[in-house]
Amino acid sequence: MHCEPKPTQMLHRRSILNRNKRLGHSKKGWTDCELAVLWLTHFEKHTAGAANGHARLLVVDGHNSHYSFEFLNYACTHKIHVLCYPAHTTHVYQGLDVVVFSVLKQCWADERTKWEANGGEVSKETFLTIYGAAHIKTLSPTLIKKAFEKTGIWPFNPNVVPVEMMAPSKETSREGHLPFAPSTPIRIAARHLEYTLFPPAEKMTSPTNSVVPGVADDVAAVVDFAVHQLRDPAVDYLTRNSPIKATSQLPPLPTTTLSPIKQWLPNLLQHDATTPLERVLMKKLQDSVIKETYLKGKVVGLQSTVILQNAYLHRVQGQLEAREGKRNKGGGVLNDGHARLLTEDEFVEKVAERDRQKASKQAEKEQRKAMMAEYKVVLDEWKKVEGERKRWNIDRRLEWKREVEEWNRLKGKGRGKRPLLGEKKATARPTRPSADIVEDSEVSLAVRTTIEEGSDNDGSERLG
């Protein structure tokens, strides 16, 4: 929003605003949707004449102020196409990051040095004066056109951003990290599979070159077969370069049921062989038992590793799901990270629906808040009436006790003799009052009604 500056700020504003530039700030100091709309009206004012009725293209990053309904609706009304960069690519595509900011940083340093050399101090009061000079010197038409050209936006040139520039980081994308490292042959096969599916941009040493002799050819054959099998829709996300989501599920890994060592084998192995054939057979049997025991131990170890790896992956998947849920909590509409034309009808409608849902939730929240405020007023009144009722009951009990004492006195005084003329005769014992049973007052009924309505509306437990 445009703010009315203090008198001490006006001079500094003029140094930067004398070329149709404007400044504004939000209450919290961060840009927001309202500021973005005001900026867009400024953009429209100064580009409409040059456009001469033609559509204009505005390229923005994925900040939420760039796709509020008010922002997009204003853009559509004034023939402004809003294109959003892919996520995490402004260092490559955005002209400010690629060209302008480095020059602005140097100009700012020069202007600050010049200011301090003349005895000035960099402060909040002098910041705009110093920055204004650097801003005007940096943001020239020549440099701005250079920024569009350097990023390939205009003139359009997709070749200025080669595939190598967008390659993922090898440190974070090429190597897996599991609690238990697989054996060397498995590691070689997995690496070969990775480089077969997602070949690196630069020339690298073949992953099949390993200290394990004679494994490269076998690995290549296994990987070729694996790539073909991975085209199955259930696991094809492993062969795509798009990010894996929390909803992606690996097929269950089968395990093998292992039988225990047979009890009769030790007795059989202790049998004395008497003929050469028996000795050969006994030797073969002993070797097979040793081999079977070893293999069973290996299978148990592998299956135990699979269980632990699965537990690790499930935990990581849960953290990923929680992260995605947190990111989507605000009803985000740019969660896929792809470049998108924000002014297309489908996206604008999605933003409008998001805003309607937010408005509905806010209205429900305000309604609950109003109900709770009303409930508090009624509850306070009920507490007041309830206090009076309890005091009234206490007074009734005290009165009843006095009546009982008087009744006992009269009864004892007149026991065994006839009452004298004019003396009060003892009556029946006073009845104990039902102190807690009183008719519902209007306040009590109002409290009960408010509680029941609140329980019906939001499903909360009944209060009181």
Average pLDDT over residues 60-77: 94
Residue 280: Cβ within 10 Å count? 11
pLDDT at 10: 30
| pLDDT at residue 192 in the model | 66
Q: Domain ends where: 196, 225, 241?
A: 241
Whether 348 is covered by a domain: the verdict is: no
Q: Are strands 80-84 and 56-60 parallel, antiparallel or unpaired?
A: parallel
User: Considering the domain boundaries, does residue 405 fall inside one?
Assistant: yes
User: Bigger pLDDT: 26 or 144?
Assistant: 144
16 and 156 in a single domain? The answer is: yes
> For residue 212, what pLDDT is reported?
37
Kindly state the DSSP code that residue 237 receives in the 8-state scheme.
Answer: G
Cα–Cα distance between 464 and 451 in angstroms, integer? 8
pLDDT one-digit tens code per residue, 145-178: 999 999 999 999 989 988 778 766 554 544 555 6
337 pLDDT more than 60: yes
Do 135 and 89 reside in the same domain of the chain? yes
On whether both 264 and 395 belong to a single domain, the answer is: no
Residue with tokens 């701005």: 144
Query: Could you say which of 318, 336, 354 is where a domain stops?
Result: 336
Poorest-pLDDT segment among 105-109, 271-275, 373-377: 271-275
pLDDT, position 315: 81
28 shares its domain with 63: yes
Handedness of CA 452, 454, 457, 462 (dihedral sign): negative
Total of domains in the chain: 4
pLDDT at 260 (0 to 100)? 72
Alpha-carbon span 142 to 163, nearest angstrom? 28
Asked if 277 and 223 sit in the same domain, the reply is no
Other CB atoms within 10 Å distance of the CB of residue 295: 11
416: left (phi over 0), alpha (psi -120 to 50) or beta: left
In a domain, 403, yes or no: yes
Contact 175, 200 (CB under 8 A): no
Residue-level pLDDT at 242: 64
**pLDDT at residue 329 greater than cutoff 70:** no
Spatial separation of the C-alpha atoms in residues 334 and 328, rounded to whole Å? 9
Phi-psi region of 91 (alpha: psi -120 to 50; beta: other; left: phi over 0): alpha
Residue 314, pLDDT score = 79
Token pair, residue 49, equals 């004449």
Q: Is residue 416 part of a domain?
A: no
pLDDT of residue 157: 93
- CB neighbours (10 Å) of residue 24? 13
Domain contains 431: yes
Q: Calculate the alpha carbon distances from 416 to 23, 406, 411 in Å.
A: 106, 18, 10
Model confidence over 379-390: pLDDT tens digits? Answer: 999 999 999 989
Instruction: State what percent of residues in the chain have pLDDT above 70.
Output: 63
Q: What is the pLDDT of residue 88?
A: 85
> Same structural domain for residues 257 and 279?
yes
Task: Report the C-alpha gap between 381 and 443 in whole angstroms.
Answer: 7
**Within a domain: residue 419?**
no
Residue 456: is its pLDDT beyond 50?
yes
- Tell me: do 285 and 375 sit in the same domain: no
* Nearest CA-CA partner of 163 in 241, 87, 85: 241
The whole-angstrom separation of Cα 182 and Cα 204 is 23
Do 258 and 403 fall into the same domain? Answer: no
What pLDDT, on the 0 to 100 scale, is given for residue 203?
42
17 and 158 both lie in a single domain? yes
Helix axes 33-51, 69-77, angle to 10 degrees: 10
End-to-end alpha-carbon separation of the chain, Å? 46
What is the tens place of the pLDDT at every residue in 402-428? 988 888 887 776 555 555 556 555 577
d(CA 70, CA 36): 9
Q: Residue 218's domain spans which residues?
A: 177-241
Q: Are residues 321 and 291 located together in one domain of the fold?
A: yes
Q: Is residue 209 part of a domain?
A: yes
**Same domain for 102 and 78:** yes
**Same-domain status, 78 and 152:** yes
Q: State which of 69-83, 198-212, 294-308 shows the largest mean pLDDT.
A: 69-83
Regarding predicted confidence, which is higher, 353 or 195? 353
Residue 78: pLDDT band with limits 50, 70, 90 = very high
Amino acid sitting at position 213: P
Domain's final residue, options 241, 259, 288:
241
Specify the higher pLDDT residue, 233 or 398.
398
Cα–Cα distance for residue pair 341/284, rounded to 1 Å: 73
Q: Is residue 360 part of a domain?
A: no
pLDDT at 451 over 70: no
